[in-house]
Amino acid sequence: MKTEKKSLNVPVNKQGLKKKRSFSRKAIYTLLILLTLISIVPFYMMIINATRENQAILGGFSFLPGSALIENYRTMMDYVNIWNGFKNSLIVSVSVTVLSGYFSALTAFGFAVYEFKGKNLLFIFMLLMMMVPGQLGLIGFYELNNAIGTLDTYIPLIVPAIASPFVVFFLRQYLSTTLHPSLLEAARMDGAGELKIFHTVALPIMMPAVATMSIFTFIGSWNNYIVPLVVLFSPEKYTLPVLMGFLKGSQVATNLGSMYLGIAISVVPIMVAFLFFSKYIISSISAGSIKG
């Protein structure tokens, strides 16, 4: 009985609403464009101001670029070598992403494929620790690295990535739906060792999930501020976020054009990467939230 009603009423309703709707649609698009501008304009201003002279920026507001880009760049590089920070961030983030991806896959495989004593207990323990915020152990973490002599190195930034509970959790869930036991049995019949089975059978199957997690691991590591701030002392070892804080406290801060340029250099690569990965990132967020 409902279907009958549906076919009769909907077109009529639509006709009746048409006039009112076209007006509010205009208002909605205006609002959406306004929000779009709010999201983009700070970055636009950053890029524009990176090309303007200090005096011009102090003097007033402009939507048009200036001609002081090279000058600003020289001023900035005189005090702070931003590309060095860029390189450091890249070394740390790539290492973290690779270690976290590989070892999480390994751990997830161990949990998904084998039965052993204490397995569930260990898994639950891992999940519980996942809830603990990073700051809880910060003081102890600093003291630990102080004791073993790894302060002012990248070890405390990179090595802990081997233990990434959330990635393990995600990959284990993924494996339990995609890895069929018969695949493993077939490989064992061929005489492959367990580690070889992991590398040749399981890892390729996990790759899409590893890639998804890798994007977030990379971004998280790239944006991490408090840990490198605490463990690194030498400016030449600073990662980009720490270098940004250093830039603010340095001589460069007196030249706004150079400041904007420094910020722009730290921001633009991520924005460019986002152009390529945005669909992927957004669908991952959507998927994660529904499962989570």
Partner 1 sequence: MKKLNHKGYYFIAPFFAIFLVFNIYPVLLTFYYTFTRYEGYGKPEFIGLENYTRILTDGYFLEAFINTWKIWGLNFALQLGIALFLAALFSDLRYRIKGIGFFRAVFYLPNLITISSVAILFNIMLDWQHGSINMFLMKIGLISDPINWLNEPATAQISVALILTWMWFGYTFIVLMAGVSGIPGELYEAALIDGANRWQTFVHITLPLLKPIMLYVMITSLIGGLQLFDLPMLITDGLGAPEGSLNTMVLYLYNQAFRYNNYGYAATIAYALFLITVLFSVVTFRSMYRTNAKKEG
The interface with partner 1 within residues 103-162 (CB under 8 A) comprises: 103-104, 106-107, 109-111, 113-117, 119, 122, 126, 129, 131-144, 156, 159-160, 162
Q: How far is the CB of 191 from partner 1 (least distance, A)?
A: 16
Binds partner 1 by CB under 8 A, chosen from 51, 97, 258, 266:
266
Q: Which is nearer to partner 1, 50 or 73 (CB)?
A: 50
Q: What angle do CA 209, 210, 212 make, to 5 degrees?
A: 65
Report which secondary-structure segment, H or E, holds 192.
Answer: none
At residue 291, what are phi and psi to the nearest 5 degrees? Answer: -70, -40
Region 7-46 residues binding partner 1, contact defined as CB under 8 A: 9-10, 13, 17, 21, 24-25, 28-29, 32, 35-36, 38-40, 42-43, 45-46
d(CA 212, CA 248): 34
| 95: number of Cβ within 10 Å | 16
Q: How far is the CB of 214 from partner 1 (least distance, A)?
A: 15
Exposed, middle or buried: residue 210 (CB in 10 Å: 0-12, 13-18, 19+)? Answer: buried
And the tokens for 152? Answer: 């002012």
Those residues with Cβ within 8 angstroms of residue 101's Cβ, 6 or more apart along the chain or in another chain:
167, 210, 213, 214, 217
Q: How far is the CB of 270 from partner 1 (least distance, A)?
A: 6
Region 41-60 residues binding partner 1, contact defined as CB under 8 A: 42-43, 45-46, 49, 57-58, 60
Q: How far is the CB of 133 from partner 1 (least distance, A)?
A: 6
d(CA 287, CA 205): 19
Length of the chain: 292
Residue whose tokens read 């997830």: 108
CB-CB contact of 214 with 273 (8 Å): no
Region 62-91 residues binding partner 1, contact defined as CB under 8 A: none
Q: Which stretch binds partner 1 (CB under 8 A): 5-13, 72-80, 90-98, 205-213?
A: 5-13
And the tokens for 45? Answer: 């201003």
Region 219-258 residues binding partner 1, contact defined as CB under 8 A: 219, 222-223, 225-226, 230, 240-242, 244-245, 247-248, 256
Q: How far is the CB of 107 from partner 1 (least distance, A)?
A: 4
And the tokens for 287? Answer: 């998927």
CB-CB contact of 262 with 247 (8 Å): yes
Q: How far is the CB of 271 from partner 1 (least distance, A)?
A: 7
Q: Which is nearer to partner 1, 13 or 67 (CB)?
A: 13
Write the binding mask 182 to 221 for partner 1: x where contact by CB under 8 A, - elsewhere: ------------xx--x--------------------x--
Q: How far is the CB of 97 from partner 1 (least distance, A)?
A: 16
